[in-house]
Chain A
């Protein structure tokens, strides 16, 4: 990781969190370690005092059983056997003269007396009392025990705290180094975590940059572990997919609009141009003008249909919604389209139970059903049947238009609701290829769904309003 990334890394929430945890760990671990150390020190002190008391008792017992001389030789033997055993003794006679022991003199202490009570006391011992071979340079509170013997002499024993001090020092060093290791590890882990997260975000940011630069085919990296980043990437990828789809659709629409409007515009222009090439009689001019108007009407129709389906599809226009009596709607539409169907020798039946209503826009729904009826009438061969119905099923209320025509192959059913898609057979017939796309858009606008199915034979188109 380059150094210049460090400030950015420090700003990441992962690192901030890691730092916070590192501090918390350090405080907790520190408290634990020092508590343990304190208890250890107390234990060592207690051990020291117990040892000292036991040892002192042996000395007193020796005096009691064998007298001063025996005690003195025992002290001398001890000093000889372990010159620096950390054990110090002094026996002075009742006048304070040294009889035996490895302390140089009776320890002068701050309050001038060591309690002669045979109990262990922590006493500040001065250098003067400590023999140089003890090697103890730092003055310290030593555990000291002293008593007056029956003959008036005094006995004192002390223990060096050097070992205990060393033990405490080790403990402290261990605590501090553990703490340091913990803090370093916590920080390292935080940085590692932050870097891992940053790397994945960087990948997403980089991809977003490439997409912004114009490469819409790029997708966010997805790893196999299915974590939150993968979920985010997948969601973003689906969004990109949808955007790409919409853009492709838009491009197709633009191409198709250009195509659908170019031919009639060219025809219109040529018709007018050719008419003006030569002088003609009024009837000819009139006919040319009327044909031009018809071309223009066709253009306007296509134009309005494109506009309407775009608006319905994008949902930019909020249609006025009100309860619509579907039964009345299909009855009236059946009546409107009946004669047209009859002229083509098609039987149109209307099948609607009374009083079925949905919330919607009556004119838009009429447009949708009208388009479905237009298609059915256009594509069903003479002698066929068309059924217009309001159906109530478990999925909700449906408007259905079923015919006995050629139907639409299952593979193409999804495609025909796209704008301008006209299947092979339909290419020759009139129409702008916007019919089903508009029906689909209107259905969506109503929260309903357009489904095309096999009518065995023929096609059945259903606009299903979900049950409220």
Chain B
């Protein structure tokens, strides 16, 4: 996908460009809000990564201008400020997701990719499938290789989210936000326990594991190891 990065810190931008490029994306970089706005208006991007604090026009104002013009390109806001209300302000201004510095690159990448997937129109489906794992969205029945798997309601939501984002890394924070709707930082990895329970139910009795742990990042549901 093609990403516009609007970030005034040259070194941070260089790492982001490198990371995103090596992850298979095309990245354009603007160093100021004005340049970024011009580029976003001129080229059709799949996603924007916008630093909140920029010289001249700030990041939220860039997004606000684009939204006012009817541009709905998914935008991820980077901010050094932190705290709950920055996130609220960022989302209110039209940002689609919010990452606080310092952040892990894998977290940013996973969120950015999820953002773009979310923006793509999805064919209406009644079931999700990954290899021989099938989740019926209407009956909430889950089967693997035809065998019925009993899941708790929260495990079902967890699996649904992982299956919708199959073959992509989802981070613990994303799971906490999307499955439990919480934006906070648990000191212990409570999410891991839920994932390992889910894994026990869908992978334990089968030869090929589907739910993989990606070290330093999160989890990935995939038929490929």
Contacts and interface: CB of A to CB of B under 8 A. Distances in A.
Contacts of A112: none
Contacts of B102: 300, 303-304
B193 A343 contact: yes
A297 interface: yes
Given A304-B100, A317-B83, A339-B194, A363 B183 contact: yes
Interface string A311-332: 1000001111000000000001
Nearest to A305: B185
Interface in A427-464: 431-432, 435
A317 B100 CA distance: 15
Interface string B90-123: 0000000000101110000000000000000000
B193 A340 contact: yes
A290 B102 CA distance: 17
B11 to A, nearest CB: 16
Nearest to A292: B216
Contact of A374 (B104, B186, B194): B186
A335 interface: yes
B216 A293 contact: yes
B85 A317 contact: yes
A364 interface: yes
A99 interface: no
A320 B83 CA distance: 11
Contacts of A382: none
B159 to A, nearest CB: 15
Contacts of B85: 317-320
A76 interface: no
A263 B193 CA distance: 29
Interface in A81-135: none
A28 interface: no
B215 A435 contact: no
A307 B187 contact: no
B84 A336 contact: no
B185 A297 contact: no
B216 A294 contact: yes
Given A297-B104, A370-B187, A308 B180 contact: no
Nearest to A339: B193
B23 interface: no
Nearest to A301: B185
Nearest to A332: B180
Given A336-B182, A366-B182, A374-B188, A307 B84 contact: no
Contacts of A432: 187
A127 B62 CA distance: 112
A431 B187 contact: yes
A335 B154 contact: yes
Nearest to B215: A290
Interface string B74-98: 0000000011110010000000000
Contacts of A343: 193
A386 to B, nearest CB: 13
B190 interface: yes
A168 interface: no
Nearest to A363: B183
Nearest to B105: A293
A135 B179 CA distance: 124
B104 A300 contact: yes
Contacts of A366: 182, 184
Contacts of A378: 188
B216 A371 contact: no
Nearest to B83: A317
A40 interface: no
Contacts of A435: 187
A337 interface: yes
Given A293-B216, A294-B216, A339-B194, A319 B188 contact: no
A391 B154 CA distance: 26
A370 B184 contact: yes
A361 interface: yes
Contacts of B83: 308, 311, 317, 319
Contacts of B148: none
A301 B187 CA distance: 9
B18 interface: no
B181 to A, nearest CB: 8
A367 interface: yes
Nearest to B192: A340
Interface string A365-402: 01100110010011000000000000000000000000
Contacts of A336: 180, 182, 186, 190, 194
A296 B180 CA distance: 26
A374 B184 CA distance: 13
A431 to B, nearest CB: 6
A150 B42 CA distance: 141
Contacts of B215: 290
> Which 10 pairs, one residue from A and one from B, show the smallest C-beta to C-beta distance?
A367-B184, A339-B193, A374-B187, A293-B216, A363-B183, A340-B193, A317-B83, A340-B190, A300-B102, A370-B186
Interface of B: 82-85, 88, 100, 102-104, 154, 180, 182-188, 190, 193-194, 197, 215-216
12 contacts: A290-B216, A293-B104, A297-B104, A308-B82, A317-B84, A319-B83, A319-B85, A320-B88, A335-B154, A336-B190, A363-B182, A366-B182
Given A296-B104, A304-B82, A343-B193, 20 more contacts: A297-B104, A297-B216, A308-B82, A308-B185, A311-B83, A320-B84, A332-B180, A332-B182, A336-B182, A336-B186, A339-B193, A339-B197, A340-B190, A363-B182, A363-B183, A367-B184, A370-B186, A370-B190, A374-B188, A435-B187
